[in-house]
Amino acid sequence: AQKVTQAQTEISVVEKEDVTLDCVYETRDTTYYLFWYKQPPSGELVFLIRRNSFDEQNEISGRYSWNFQKSTSSFNFTITASQVVDSAVYFCALSEARLRGQNFVFGPGTRLSVLP
Amino acid sequence: DAGVTQSPTHLIKTRGQQVTLRCSPKSGHDTVSWYQQALGQGPQFIFQYYEEEERQRGNFPDRFSGHQFPNYSSELNVNALLLGDSALYLCASSLGSLGVQPQHFGDGTRLSIL
């Protein structure tokens, strides 16, 4: 069965600090997709990144970077030089490839507070 | 380019009533998924519609049903409402149903059951 664990319920940092959000997943499939979403106070989930199971290259996008390690079933997310606008709930999600439709499984989320 | 739109924004119902929530997908998307997000929790997958058929379903009772129309818009229906159905209901759309493309989410409908 699919499962996504985000062990950090809440994290508080001071602006300009680096912060890493952890994500551990479970799946029996060899083909799957991992995602990170941001949910600001307004409520809309904002897509950040997608990674497929065959691509273990780390990715950097501005202040955001992602570290995918299949050996430890982890897909961690780092924000460098955090800003107050980064304050939100961040969700890691897993989708397994299916012939008929997809079933996203979200983790419980990590609430990040960036203090000025 | 319109994103995913949901209506209504807020809704208040009483136990036992029925409710219908509506979703219009992002332009160019053909797949719609529905999620229930209780306060302080991650979204829980309800079901996904593609080509007007329910393709995948999460662990939700039959009181939760849906429909997709030829223009790809979708409805979520919940019968015999319970207090526990109070939550934010999110609609997400994507292109294709195989999990390759990311889902884009609407702002949600906040449903309160009294």
Residues A20, B94, B104, B36, CA torsion sign: negative
Using alpha carbons, select from A115, A103, A108, A104 the residue that is nearest to residue A91.
A108
**Surface-to-core class of residue A114, CB atoms within 10 Å of its CB (0-12 exposed, 13-18 middle, 19+ buried):** buried
Q: Return the bridge partners of B78, or none.
A: B19, B64
Residue B67 in this model has a pLDDT that exceeds 80: yes
Residues in chain B: 114
Contact B102 A102 (CB under 8 A): no
pLDDT of residue A54: 87
Average pLDDT, chain B: 93
Residue B99 in this model has a pLDDT that exceeds 70: no
Is some CB atom of chain A closer than 8 A to the CB atom of B90? yes
**Surface-to-core class of residue A24, CB atoms within 10 Å of its CB (0-12 exposed, 13-18 middle, 19+ buried):** middle
Nearest CA in chain B to A41: B107
B27's tokens = 């332009």
Helix and strand counts by DSSP (H, E) for chain A: 0, 12
Residue B98 in this model has a pLDDT that exceeds 70: no
Cβ B55 vs Cβ B49: under 8 Å = yes
Is some CB atom of chain B closer than 8 A to the CB atom of A105? yes
pLDDT of residue B71: 95
pLDDT of residue A115: 96
Contact B102 A50 (CB under 8 A): yes
- For residue A100, list chain B residues with Cβ-Cβ distance below 8 A: 55-56, 97
pLDDT of residue A106: 94
Contact A45 B92 (CB under 8 A): yes
Beta strands (DSSP E) in B25-103 are: 31-37, 44-50, 53-57, 64-68, 74-78, 87-94
Residue B105: which of A45, A95, A99 has the nearest Cβ?
Answer: A45
- Cα(B5)–Cα(A102) distance, integer angstroms: 21
Contact A44 B107 (CB under 8 A): yes
> pLDDT averaged over consecutive 10-residue blocks of chain A (116 residues)?
92 97 94 92 88 85 92 95 96 81 86 96
pLDDT of residue B80: 97
List the single best residue of A102, A110, A111 to mutate versus B (max B Cβ within 10 A): A102
Residue B22 in this model has a pLDDT that exceeds 70: yes
**pLDDT tens, A36-66?**
999 998 888 999 998 888 888 888 889 999 9
Is some CB atom of chain A closer than 8 A to the CB atom of B68? no
pLDDT of residue B102: 81
